[in-house]
Amino acid sequence: MFVRHHSEIVPQKIEEGKGISIQWLIDDKVGAPNFALRRFTLDVGGYTPYHIHDWEHEVYVLSGKGSLVDEKGTEHPLREGDVAFVDPSLQHQFKNIGQEPFIFLCIVPL
């Protein structure tokens, strides 16, 4: 069991997409057996790649304004308190469409 503030976890830059950093808040390195909790920050103008993989995303938006692009290219706006589920094997992309960092939690299976 542990408690720590997210600010104790060093953000890592992601080279794909633009302006993305990730904090691995809880993962297998600290004993998580099933899933990992990550915190993403997309800078103003930032975006993830429009990509696909065979695992799901469960997302909770903490702050900022973003959008989730679905497999048809449709953009779904995202704001604080929004919840998003991305099924496995669906093309998707997250974008910052606001004027401040867009920050969200994203949980994935291990």
Binding positions for its own copies, rule: CB under 8 A: 1-7, 9, 25-26, 30-35, 37, 56, 58, 60, 62, 68, 70-71, 76-79, 81-88, 90, 92, 105, 107, 109
Contact yes or no for 61/78 (Cβ under 8 A): yes
Q: Which is nearer to its own copies, 43 or 56 (CB)?
A: 56
Neighbour tally for 46: CB within 10 Å: 20
What's the closest the beta carbon of residue 19 comes to its own copies, in angstroms? 21
Contact yes or no for 16/94 (Cβ under 8 A): no
- Residue 62 CA to residue 32 CA, distance in Å, equals 22
What's the closest the beta carbon of residue 50 comes to its own copies, in angstroms? 13
Q: Which is nearer to its own copies, 15 or 34 (CB)?
A: 34
- Residue 31 CA to residue 12 CA, distance in Å, equals 20
What's the closest the beta carbon of residue 15 comes to its own copies, in angstroms? 25
